[in-house]
Amino acid sequence: MTVVGPFGLSVRDQALEADVQTGLAAVEAGLLDATKSDVPFITEAAQHLVRAGGKRFRPLLVMLASQFGDPYAPGVVPAAVVVELTHLATLYHDDVMDEGKVRRGVDSANARWGNSVAVLTGDFLFARASHILADLGPEAVRIQAEAFERLVTGQILETAGPRDGRDPVEHYLDVLGGKTGSLVAVSCRFGAMTSGADESVVDILTQYGERLGVAFQLADDVLDIASDSHESGKMPGTDLREGIPTLPVLLLRAQAEAYGRPGDLALVELLDGDLADDARLSEALRLLRAHPALEQARRDTVRYAQEARATLTPLAEGYAKSALIELCDAVVHRAG
């Protein structure tokens, strides 16, 4: 049994382990190749987050999904490079929108070179992803375009906020389906599709990815509050400090509005204040860690992970299916 990929995923079959390891190594080489430019500064900026590392969660899913067809098919690795380049591009843009200063343990691109360079570098990565995608055929282009539309729509909905009368928690879960679930779903879909898996298998893995993607982001929401060392390279409370809505905070606000408990109202007031002060942020984290809203957010994370796991039931038993199931457990463990 060997540990590979994010979360310490354990692979119990040597052939599967070799396929995954070889595939991820090829993806890494492909990312470096795709981010090279004739202009050295563009190469430096484009490879900034590639070289910073990361979980490579989406390429791992491409590799595992490809096991349901021919994992050596020529489109598998390029598809994995496409989804990771797209993800990386969104990180450059997200850090500009959120004024993030640190990403994956290094200075964010906007902190290092300014917003304009960060935005344009993200655009450069989108362009390179599209160039690779074109070789995968018109169906792949259409699927990626639809996913990217959902991703951007989710980002816009998050920025705009819920419309009048809409439950903020329901709105947020819709946002996550677009912002995160869409690209994770495409990772599974591309892996299965480019490997030549049956259409029914492609559909199952796409549904799995959609639910797993939401669970993955909800686990990040919990970690931002509960963890002493954030796995994404950000410090705990980063989302709180930047005023980014997360599920535990939205659940807290809903309880404060519904029941009007003085402690809840005081915590909401603290969160709405200036959290640039380290002492205020530490106090907010302390109170949120003890609040029932955090445990409810954990339960919601578990629910989405369990739904992801349940979608895999029709698939034939095997090491690849077991690895996908283990990823559900690993996402839950992150939020534990």
From 135, 165, 197, the end of a domain falls on 197
If asked whether residues 86 and 173 sit together in one domain, one would say yes
Alpha-carbon Rg for the chain in angstroms: 20
Residue the block writes with tokens 């463990």: 333
If asked whether residues 72 and 176 sit together in one domain, one would say yes
Sign of torsion over alpha carbons 87, 90, 96, 98: negative
d(CA 58, CA 53): 13
Task: Please report, in tens digits, the pLDDT of each residue of the chain (336 residues total).
Answer: 444 555 556 666 888 989 999 999 999 999 999 999 999 999 999 998 888 878 899 999 999 999 999 999 999 999 999 999 999 999 888 777 766 677 776 877 788 778 888 899 999 999 999 999 999 999 999 999 999 999 999 999 988 999 988 999 999 999 999 999 999 999 999 999 999 999 999 999 999 999 999 999 999 999 999 987 545 456 788 888 888 889 999 999 999 999 999 999 999 999 999 898 899 999 999 999 999 999 999 999 999 999 999 999 999 999 999 999 999 999 888 776
CATH of the domain at 305: 1.10.600.10
If asked whether residues 172 and 222 sit together in one domain, one would say no
If asked whether residues 142 and 281 sit together in one domain, one would say no
If asked whether residues 176 and 304 sit together in one domain, one would say no
Q: For residue 24, what are the domain limits?
A: 14-197
If asked whether residues 298 and 178 sit together in one domain, one would say no
pTM score over 0.85 = yes
